[in-house]
């Protein structure tokens, strides 16, 4: 991990850790229902203030917590049009396979690229620190994957352009 991203990632890690104090909390409106309050927003007193951690204008994380769930929304770095296209395609690929990632939401929050939803059952069946590590590692690896894909596309474009221009010369 580079030294420039380390404080950003540590801040995200600590904020998610503080927000993941979840407990089983049944609905106050409907009997025998236990829906994530951060999604339904039926009772304002059960929601905590949302926290936005931003590295710059494009890179930010929104952490919304409630008594029984936490939603983490991530907006990835997109420096140019190619990164926008790659990020959109890669996020679409991942969200189509959301059932394989238990905490990944199919549809991200408006204005963000990808969202995770951690509910109290997840913290009861999985280790809390492992969930946090997964989310943070996922964010780091997505940035690396998109950068690698961008390099690969540029390399392939350069090789095909050279081949095309070589044919024009001959």
> How does pLDDT run along the chain (170 residues), one tens digit per residue?
677 889 999 999 999 999 999 988 887 887 878 889 999 988 889 999 999 999 999 999 999 999 999 999 999 989 899 999 999 999 999 999 999 989 999 999 999 999 999 999 999 999 999 999 999 999 999 989 999 999 999 999 999 999 999 988 87
Is residue 69 within 8 A of residue 35, CB to CB? The reply is no
Question: ∠ at Cα 109 (69, 26), nearest 5°?
Answer: 25
Query: 């936490």: which residue's tokens?
Result: 70
Q: Output the pTM of the full model.
A: 0.89
Structure token pair of residue 30? 């409907």
Q: Which two tokens stand for residue 33?
A: 């229902």
- Which segments of 20-127 does DSSP mark as H helices, in order? 37-40, 81-95, 120-125
pLDDT of 85 reads 95
Residue found by looking up tokens 């890690």 in the block? 13
> Rounded to the nearest 5°, which phi and psi values hold at 132?
-65, -45
Which of 155, 13, 162, 1 lies closest to 82, judged by CA? 155
pLDDT of residue 122: 93
Cα pseudo-dihedral 158, 164, 169, 170, rounded to 10: 130
**Tell me, what's the pLDDT at 1?**
63
Q: Are strands 60-65 and 51-54 parallel, antiparallel or unpaired?
A: antiparallel
């Amino acid at each position: 991990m580079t030294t420039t991203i380390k404080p950003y990632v540590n801040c995200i890690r600590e904020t998610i850790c503080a927000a993941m104090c979840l407990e089983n909390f049944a609905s106050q409106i409907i009997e025998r229902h236990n829906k994530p309050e951060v999604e339904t927003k039926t009772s304002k007193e059960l929601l905590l203030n949302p926290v936005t951690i931003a590295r710059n204008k494009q890179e930010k994380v929104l952490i919304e917590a409630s008594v029984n769930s936490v939603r983490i929304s991530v907006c990835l770095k997109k420096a140019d049009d190619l990164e926008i296209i790659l990020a959109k395609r890669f996020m679409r690929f991942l969200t189509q396979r959301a059932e394989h990632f238990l905490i990944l939401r199919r549809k991200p929050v408006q204005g963000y690229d990808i969202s995770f939803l951690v509910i109290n059952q997840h913290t009861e069946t999985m280790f809390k620190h492992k969930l946090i590590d997964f989310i943070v590692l996922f964010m780091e690896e997505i940035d690396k994957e998109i950068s690698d894909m961008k390099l690969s596309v540029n390399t392939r474009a350069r090789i095909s352009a050279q081949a095309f221009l070589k044919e024009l010369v001959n």
